[in-house]
Structure 1
Amino acid sequence: MRQLADIPHPEVKITLFSWNGKYLIKLEKGPLEQTYKVSEMDVTSDEEVRSLLDDEFMQAVINRFQLMHQDLQATFERHDIY
């Protein structure tokens, strides 16, 4: 796996990788992580992959992180883990 870029964002750590014919967009916030795979056949360059990270997509990612956090907290509470 080859790291192509760290993409600045005020709320989320974004790293772009190239691996096995795919671009991997890795997004991290605290202990949570989301990874999206985009086939190199579907885009023409890593710049085009970066264009996918528009405001609407990033807001959805941030909302999903909030839901993931809630899900994790809920299961901790169900199992009396704090």
Structure 2
Amino acid sequence: MTADEVLDRFRRNLKTIREIKGLSQSEVARRLGVPPSYICDMERGRRSPNLRTVAAIAEVLQTPAEIFIGPRKLAKQVKPGLHS
């Protein structure tokens, strides 16, 4: 898999998981302490996250980090909602 393919999987899975969890781009951004445009840019492939950012997003979305670059079918199996 090429770097571009990994980033494409990441951006698609980020959006899928965020929507399953019922969070807006703005809410994810707020929890990460970044501008909402940062999340939008990642989902559109205009920005590439570093590993720390991927780990932080995984923590916010309460999802294992590896799912973000796995097959889309794995992302679609993420359970909705967040734990307190």
* TM-score relative to the length of structure 2: 0.35
Report which of the two has the higher share of helix.
Answer: 2
Structure 1 or 2, whichever has the larger Rg, is 1
Greater relative contact order (Cα < 8 A, sep 6+):
2
Larger fraction in strand = 1
Relative to the length of structure 1, the TM-score reads 0.35
